């Protein structure tokens, strides 16, 4: 394996765990392509991989990690509990199944994938997460797609504050109020769909900033996320995009450029609403 790689900075979570600020998300990466994509990402310097039971490729992520043979402490693995598996006992079973598919004895971060508030089970589920954390089978625990009211309920009913909330976030859907709540409570914001499914790449503001820095539009958007303090998880698996996405640590956006991108917030959600999404 090529040892020349980019070094990715980490953010320290409120429980002291360090999380690489840039990850590679394997949502919609076909299982037959996942192992090769993860192996290339490892070669390029990625050390944070974001998968989920629902993605159907945990096994292939694990196979790539085993093939490359890095020490376990050198990479950070996030996986997620699917909606239909919520509940205390079913969560414990689902977690063991994820560990088995990954071929690991622990994950670094375990997330509730969606709150599914109409089912009313995420508090019970979180108590199973606390058990998993106490057994050191997950180094830290968090949530995904939780709204402010979901977080308030969870923190009011349980003992452990989530370290991370992974949500849809991009220039056209900036989640300002939610990010402010996270900051107030020491919860790290992780962004999925950070490039708005590539719909932000041709906006004139993004293109102007990219031209000024001699960069690609996607690199500008990812840099914007980093400077906001987000963890960012792009999911484009093409080799050129994997290389492009990690080459964002040698330039910075000015305050004026950050502000100009901040003006692109149109409250344009592209994915499902957490208030309504249950299970397909």
CATH number for the domain that contains residue 132: 3.20.20.100
Q: Does the residue 280 lie in any domain?
A: no
What are the pLDDT digits (tens) for 157-203?
A: 999 999 999 999 999 999 999 999 999 999 999 999 999 988 889 99
Q: Does the residue 4 lie in any domain?
A: no
What's the domain range around 41?
Answer: 10-262
Q: Does the residue 113 lie in any domain?
A: yes
Q: In angstroms, rounded to a whole number, what is the distance separating the alpha carbons of residues 39 and 30?
A: 15
Q: Does the residue 50 lie in any domain?
A: yes
Neighbours of 111 (CB within 10 A): 27
Q: Does the residue 74 lie in any domain?
A: yes
DSSP-assigned beta bridge partners for residue 111? 80, 142
Q: Pick the catalytic residue from 46, 55, 75, 110.
A: 55
What's the helix, strand, coil split of the chain in %, to 5? 45, 15, 40
175: alpha, beta or left? (left if phi > 0; alpha if psi -120 to 50): left
Structure letter (DSSP) for residue 238? S
Q: Does the residue 269 lie in any domain?
A: no
Number of domains in the chain: 1
pLDDT at 6: 83
Judge whether 110 counts as a catalytic residue: no
Q: Does the residue 267 lie in any domain?
A: no
What are the pLDDT digits (tens) for 206-246?
A: 999 999 999 999 999 999 999 999 999 998 778 999 999 99
pLDDT at 12: 98
Q: How far is CA 39 from CA 15, 67, 71, 229, 231, in A?
A: 30, 8, 14, 27, 21
Q: Does residue 4 carry a pLDDT above 90?
A: no
Q: Does the residue 274 lie in any domain?
A: no
């Amino acid at each position: 394996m090529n040892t020349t790689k980019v070094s990715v900075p980490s953010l320290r979570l409120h429980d002291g765990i360090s999380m690489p600020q840039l990850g590679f998300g394997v949502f919609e990466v076909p299982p037959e392509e996942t192992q090769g994509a993860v192996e290339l990402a490892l070669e390029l310097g990625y050390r944070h991989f974001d998968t989920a039971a629902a993605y159907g490729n945990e096994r292939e992520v694990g196979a790539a990690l085993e093939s490359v043979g890095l020490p376990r402490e050198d990479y950070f693995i996030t996986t997620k509990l699917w909606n239909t598996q919520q509940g205390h006992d079913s969560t414990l079973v689902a977690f063991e199944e994820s560990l088995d598919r990954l071929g690991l004895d622990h994950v670094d971060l375990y997330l509730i994938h969606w709150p599914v508030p109409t089912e009313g089970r995420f508090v019970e589920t979180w108590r199973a997460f606390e058990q998993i954390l106490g057994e050191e089978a997950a180094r830290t625990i968090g949530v995904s797609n939780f709204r402010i009211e979901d977080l308030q309920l969870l923190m009011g009913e349980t003992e452990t504050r989530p370290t991370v909330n992974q949500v849809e976030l991009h220039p056209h859907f900036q989640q300002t109020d939610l990010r402010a709540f996270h900051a107030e409570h020491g919860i790290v914001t992780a962004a999925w769909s950070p490039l708005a499914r590539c719909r932000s790449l041709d906006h004139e503001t993004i293109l102007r900033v990219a031209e000024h820095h001699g960069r690609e539009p996607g690199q500008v958007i990812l840099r914007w996320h980093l400077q906001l303090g987000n963890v960012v998880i792009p999911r484009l698996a093409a080799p050129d995009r994997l290389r492009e996405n990690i080459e964002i640590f040698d330039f910075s956006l000015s305050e004026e450029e950050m502000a100009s991108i901040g003006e692109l917030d149109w409250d344009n959600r592209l994915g499902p609403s957490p208030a309504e999404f249950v299970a397909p």
